[in-house]
């Protein structure tokens, strides 16, 4: 697989990294070249637009964007690229992530964002969904995804409650 990033992972603040490191870990486990960066829709709007606009030309195929509050980072990313954008709502202190969820999921028609669950589940699933998207044209990644599911199944079937 190419060394240049196939996936870029953006987050609105370094405070999101505790959760978003799980996206980084899953992508690394699947051997997917990726790049993680802090860029904000409201604190660094021009830099965010420039980075996402240039992603396709660099060979990036999937954009993952995580933000908390009403930050709307994933929607802003989607406005600047035709690459698939996956949004991860961060759990906010004030509203437990309901604000983040709505500002990510409720995109008006025309500019889609595929929105995952709030917090860690969304962080991990964004990576797994990115692998599935890349896997449509990469049989070796599809095989790794099948093995991941098989291992997960085997682990659950072995659980003992005693």
Interacting residues toward ligand RP5 by CB under 6 A: 11-13, 15-16, 40, 67-69, 71, 90
3-state secondary structure the chain: CCCCCCEEEEECCHHHHHHHHHHHHHHHHCCCCEEEEECCCCCCHHHHHHHHHCCHHHCCCEEEEEECCCCCHHHHHHHCCCCCEEEEECCCCCCCCHHHHHHHHCCCCCCCCEECCCCHHHHHHHHHHHHHHHHCCCHHHHHHHHHHHHHHHHHHHCCCCC
Nearer to ligand RP5, 121 or 143 (CB): 121
Nearer to ligand RP5, 37 or 58 (CB): 37
Minimum CB–partner distance for residue 53 and ligand RP5 (Å): 20
Nearer to ligand RP5, 100 or 131 (CB): 100
Nearer to ligand RP5, 69 or 135 (CB): 69
- Which residues have C-beta within 8 Å of that of residue 158, sequence separation ≥ 6? none
Minimum CB–partner distance for residue 13 and ligand RP5 (Å): 3
Nearer to ligand RP5, 12 or 87 (CB): 12
């Amino acid at each position: 697989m190419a060394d240049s990033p196939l996936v870029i992972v953006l987050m609105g603040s370094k405070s999101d990294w505790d959760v978003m490191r799980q996206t980084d870990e899953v992508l690394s486990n699947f051997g997917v070249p990726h790049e993680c960066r802090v860029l904000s829709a409201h604190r660094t709007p021009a830099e965010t637009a420039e980075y996402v606009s240039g992603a396709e030309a660099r060979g990036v195929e999937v954009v993952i964007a995580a933000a908390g509050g009403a930050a709307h980072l994933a929607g802003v990313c989607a406005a600047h690229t035709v690459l698939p954008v996956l949004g991860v709502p961060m759990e906010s202190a004030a509203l437990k992530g309901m604000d983040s969820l709505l500002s990510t999921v409720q995109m008006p028609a025309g500019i889609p964002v595929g929105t995952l669950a709030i917090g860690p589940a969304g962080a991990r699933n964004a990576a797994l969904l990115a692998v599935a998207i890349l896997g449509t044209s990469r049989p070796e990644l599809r095989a790794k995804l099948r093995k991941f599911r098989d291992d997960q199944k085997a682990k659950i079937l072995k659980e003992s409650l005693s």
